Structure 1
Amino acid sequence: MVLLSLMHFSAFSLCFLVLTITTIPHQAQASSHGSFGRKQVGGYPTVDVGICASSVIVYGYKCQELQVTTKDGYILSLQRIPEGSGVGRTSDTRKQPVILQHGVLVDGMTWLMNPPEQNLPLILADNGFDVWIANTRGTRYSRRHVSLDPSNPAYWNWSWDELVTYDLPAVFDYVFSQTGQKINYVGHSLGTLIALASFSEKKLVNQLKSAALLSPIAYLSHMKTALGVIAAKSFLGEITKLFGLAEFDLNGLPVEAFLKSTCARPEINCYDLLTALTGLSLYMICKNCCLNSSTVDRFLMNEPQSTSTKNMVHLSQIVRRGVLAKFNYVRPDYNIMHYGEIFPPIYNLSNIPHDLPLFISYGGQDALSDVPDVENLLDMLKFHDVDKISVQFVKDYAHADYVMGFNAKDIVYNFVLSFFNGQVKT
């Protein structure tokens, strides 16, 4: 059953994912490293170039590469785009800050796959916002720790619970300290899940102005992928091979070998998965309506990114149990040790402050943030103040369209801009 969900997530991430303890007491802090000066290689960024130099500065925008250290010692990459490129620049020195949080198995680069007039960070900057791009632990620019190395399994001993407890607060605290203003937030996929979980525990809300949730993830019981047949015919025992692997890296040989060995079984048809692993059938697996081939090429040059296997298992628990809860250690004594009770606590989304401004946009073709599960989320928010929640349904959109769609500016981003400016009610 765990393998079922992992295979769902693995395949979908190859289309575009979205959807991430050893704790070292450490206060959230940040340091500036300016902007990387290396040139792009072959038109695509290399790991030592940096997001600013490869995808922002080249278009005439200012950009800073920053680092934020979480309380449990992870050193996260953070990019700041303080203003537009020219026409969109304003003299207002108190621009509204916006944090953009990506999903799982990708990083902050996913927001920048399209040209400036089509990608959300630069559109926001051109419209007078102070833009901050977050990168979660384990992704290529956030693989440092105050004492642990990624080669150490202890580095990967975390799930999205730690993103709720440590990563988001570290980023929010730093942005708030630098701007002195309440923060607008945009999350996609896992970026919506960790935000909703945070809000339900009253975290971040005192620093938050409003939140736009694109392809929201809270429940996953009805998600649809091309690998249902694999899920139905896989055995729980096989997951032990993968669970022993601390880092979940779809580019790595252990994960690829594991998936291919599963597909080698004669009763399982893995055609879509195997072609996805070679990058040949992105469009066959996904139903995204609005991706240019150049955007897909750039995506395949940059993604996927690593996450922890524990994180993938935690995501699978949402699928299997149908509830949004903290990581389940399965053994009652382990759960008692971590939580003081036999079962892990639930994130009760009805506890989200009813007056918190929310914009939710979901697509009719989304296989992960599917319609029934989003409707379940909206039901949890049914007591939200009616003038504080805006909901948009885009019939033809799938998961990746929200961050890479060539027409996302007209379909979604203009609504996000209006929402942040207090002018939208869909």
Structure 2
Amino acid sequence: MRQRETREIMFGRTSGILAVGFLVAVVAAAAAQAGVNVVTDSDALPPLPTLKRSKRFLHPHAHLTTPELIRARGYPAEVHQVVTEDGYILEIHRIPHGKDHVPAPAPSPGYTHHNHIHQQHPQDKTFAHAAHVHNAIPGHAPPSHGRGFLNDGHKSRHLNSTKLAGGDVGRNGRRVVFLFHGIVCSSADYVMNDPDQALGFIMADAGYDVWIGNIRGNFYGKRHVKMSPENADFWDFSWSEVARYDIPAMLAYVKKTSGSAQVSYVGHSMGASLLFVSLHYFPIMNTWLHGVASMAPAAYMHHKEGPLRYVAPFIEDIDRQMKEAGKYELLPLKPDRPFLAQLCSPLSFLSPVCTFIHFLIGGPNNNYIDPNYLPVIYAHTPAGTNFRILTHLMQIVRSKRFQAFDFGERENLVRYGSPIPPRYSLASVKIPVGLFWSDNDWVVDPKDVAMTASELPWVAHNYRVPLADFNHLDFMWAENAAELVYKPVLAFLKQCEEREQEPQTLY
């Protein structure tokens, strides 16, 4: 065991040195990027993004957008647009049902496949009151120790019932689930693989109305009602802004449009921890959700002797240099993205580079991702974000605290009234949480998961992937993720959704 730990540490330090070099290369590439188109008409929504078809792509799905990926598999796809309170235009992609679909009553008037509404904020008293009155949370409170498991005897009397309580389903008679991606990713993550391997399709075929969100700043969230991405203010956001504006707006829209009082939530990596931050700011949102399945939850990330720990000390200097150069965007997805798709083809002599990138991000081992899909993955990922999102993540790694963005002591005093950023409180997460993690994850170590679990009031399911070399990216794209992860996720969500629904007042 000691030899193995020593080997992992040496391996991690070596990869850390390589990771710093890789990050420098990424930054250099970002600094050379051309600008993006300016939105000149603030009264009209900018056009929807598309990816250009190119003969240079070696996989037929490499050029497809998320809705096109969905339709290419024979599933229905809808594009919805949400405008956040601070003006960002976000696309949500919907799979309303699976292939074996029994027609449901027509949706309510005013509904279109390209709905676009402005969402009120959870701080709005009228809005919050409405959510408070018309939503419910699981009727069985957590055990007194706060660590009850749904599969250890604390089951609802109606756990196995197929009859759904009021508010459990939307207008189309299906349960509603919201999927959210990790850093520099997009909604495409959940629909890249074959239908029996991609979580979005699996959930649609399991009876869900599937909604897949996008973060501000990625390929599907790079529009604003007034600002252009060429404006530095467009990129002025961290985890806190995404949690305070994007997630509440998207979830409120999904609830309103689907007609479901509550939805289930599935997040990967940062996509899981951002919900925790939203609940820190708006505890009322607990009443919107049945439960959350957190795959590789990136709240604490400092235990692994891997690349993140070696890159973290450099990130703020790099961030500052990029700002001075007028560059704020990180790893954008260009409409004519052919390079990585070609590079990662199994036929390319440079394909080991893609394996190396996977290793740096997710951890050793790349045996579970079909190499034929690497061109598809890298034609859609990275999907872009801003440098501050990455800097924020690295600050969390370095500080060993799940905290707000660190602007430096002077600005922290102005913004927070303290020289150090405030912590995000996991105690605000009052819904059942399922933690799904692995030993070989180089971003979220098992010890990090244990820290997260110790601070959450209601860890209803704590699941370790029973495969020693399953890594961080395998949660999204591994061929065996359906059996090892998604099947347990579905079982967990079903338990959350079928618990007794009794309106309660918590706040």
Q: For this structure pair, what is the TM-score category when the shorter chain's length is used for normalisation?
A: 0.7 to 0.9
- 1:101 matched to which residue of 2? 180
Whether 1:51 aligns to 2:66 is yes
**Are positions 1:164 and 2:243 aligned together?**
yes
Q: Quick one: distance in 1 between partners of 2:267 and 2:222?
A: 21
Matched, 1:348 2:348: no
**Deviation for aligned residue 1:324:** 1.1
Paired residues of 2:308 and 2:443 also in contact (CA < 8 A): no
Shift of 1:229: 6.0
Q: Distance in 1 between matches of 2:50 and 2:390?
A: 32
Query: 1:258 matched to which residue of 2?
Result: none
| Cross-structure match for 2:412 | 335
Partners of 2:184 and 2:21 lie apart in 1 by 9
Q: Matches of 1:131 and 1:166 in 2, distance apart? A: 21
Superposition map of 1:411-422 within 5 A: 411-422=484-495
**Paired residue secondary structure (1:138):** coil
Determine if the alignment matches structure 1 residue 85 to structure 2 residue 99. yes
SS at match of 2:421: coil
Deviates more, 1:289-298 or 1:210-219: 289-298
Give the letter aligned to residue 452 of structure 2: L
Larger Rg: 2
Distance 1:380 1:10 in 2: 34
Partner of 1:392: 463
Match of 1:177 among 256, 269, 272: 256
After superposition, give the CA deviation of every residue in 1:183-213 in whole Å (9 maximum; x if it has no partner): 1000000101101122233152121111100
Q: Following TM superposition, by how much is the alpha carbon of 1:240 offset from its aligned partner in structure 2, in angstroms?
A: 3.0
Offset, 1:71: 0.5
The CA deviation at 1:284 is 4.8
Q: Is the 8 A contact 1:224 1:370 kept in 2?
A: no
Matched, 1:73 2:87: yes
Report the residue type matching 2:372 in the other structure: S
Cα distance in 2, alignment partners of residues 34 and 237 from structure 1 = 35
Q: Does 1:402 align with 2:478?
A: no
The answer to whether the 8 Å contact 1:153/1:247 transfers is yes
Aligned partners of 1:73 and 1:147 also within 8 Å: yes
Q: Which one of the candidate residues 396, 401, 405 is aligned to 1:318?
A: 396
Aligned to 1:225: 306
Give unmatched runs, 5+ long, in structure 1.
15-30, 253-274
CA contact (8 A) 1:98 1:132 kept: yes
TM-score by length of 1: 0.77
CA contact (8 A) 2:239 2:389 kept: yes
Q: What is the CA distance between 1:423 and its match in structure 2?
A: 7.8
The answer to whether structure 1 residue 215 and structure 2 residue 307 are counterparts is no
Instruction: Name the counterpart of 1:262.
Output: none
Change (3 A) 1:129 1:8: farther
Q: Tell me if the contact between 1:276 and 1:282 (Cα under 8 Å) persists in the aligned partners.
A: no
Cα distance in 2 between the residues matched to 1:34 and 1:302: 16
Q: How far is 1:241 from its partner? A: 1.6
Mapped to 1, the partners of 2:490 and 2:423 lie a distance apart of 33
Contact between 1:118 and 1:407, CA under 8 Å: does it hold in 2?
A: yes
Q: How does 1:3-402 map to 2 (within 5 A)?
A: 42=57, 43-46=60-63, 50-53=65-68, 55-86=69-100, 93-181=172-260, 182-201=262-281, 202-226=283-307, 237=317, 240-244=320-324, 245-250=326-331, 279=354, 281-282=356-357, 284-285=359-360, 286-287=363-364, 288-332=366-410, 334-353=411-430, 356-381=431-456, 383-384=457-458, 389-394=460-465, 395-402=468-475
Amino acid at match of 2:280: S
- How far does the alpha carbon of each residue in 1:298-342 deviate from its partner, in whole angstroms, 9 at most, with x for none? 11222112211122221121111111111121133x223323444
Q: Could you tell me how far apart the structure 1 residues matched to 2:352 and 2:89 are?
A: 30
After superposition, the C-alpha distances for 1:198-238 in whole angstroms (9 at most, x for unaligned) are: 22331521211111000111111113434766668x69755
Question: Hey, what's the Cα distance between the residues in 2 that align with 1:66 and 1:156?
Answer: 23
With over 3 angstroms needed to count, the CA separation of the structure-2 counterparts of 1:420 and 1:137, relative to structure 1, is same
Structure 2 counterpart of 1:327, one-letter code: F
Contact in 1 for aligned 2:49/2:220 (Cα 8 Å): no
Describe the SS at the equivalent of 2:471. Answer: coil
Aligned to 1:267: none
Instruction: Call closer, same or farther: CA 1:423–1:350 in 2, change over 3 Å.
Output: closer
Distance change >3 Å, CA 128–CA 73, structure 1 → 2:
same
Q: Is the 8 A contact 1:157 1:246 kept in 2?
A: no
Aligned counterparts of 2:436 and 2:454: Cα–Cα separation in 1: 15
Q: 1:200 to 1:230 in 2, by over 3 A?
A: closer
User: Which AA in structure 2 matches 1:240?
Assistant: R
Query: Using the alignment, how far apart are the partners of 2:442 and 2:84 within structure 1?
Result: 33
- Cα distance between partner residues in 1 of 2:192 and 2:474: 11
Unaligned regions of 5+ residues in structure 2, if any? 1-15, 27-44, 105-168, 334-349, 498-507
- Distance (whole Å) between structure 2 residues aligned to residue 9 and residue 132 of structure 1: 37
SS at match of 1:406: coil
Q: Does the CA-based 8 Å contact 2:174-2:209 persist in structure 1? A: yes
- The alignment partner of 1:279 has SS state of helix
- How many angstroms apart in 1 are the aligned matches of 2:332 and 2:207? 38
Give CA-to-partner distance per residue, 1:78-98, whole Å, 9 cap, x none: 101000012x65868321111
> What RMSD, in angstroms, separates the aligned Cα atoms of the two structures?
3.4
How far apart, in 1, do the equivalents of 2:278 and 2:358 lie? 34
Cα distance in 1, alignment partners of residues 21 and 251 from structure 2: 28
Cα pair distance change 1:238/1:116, threshold 3 Å: closer
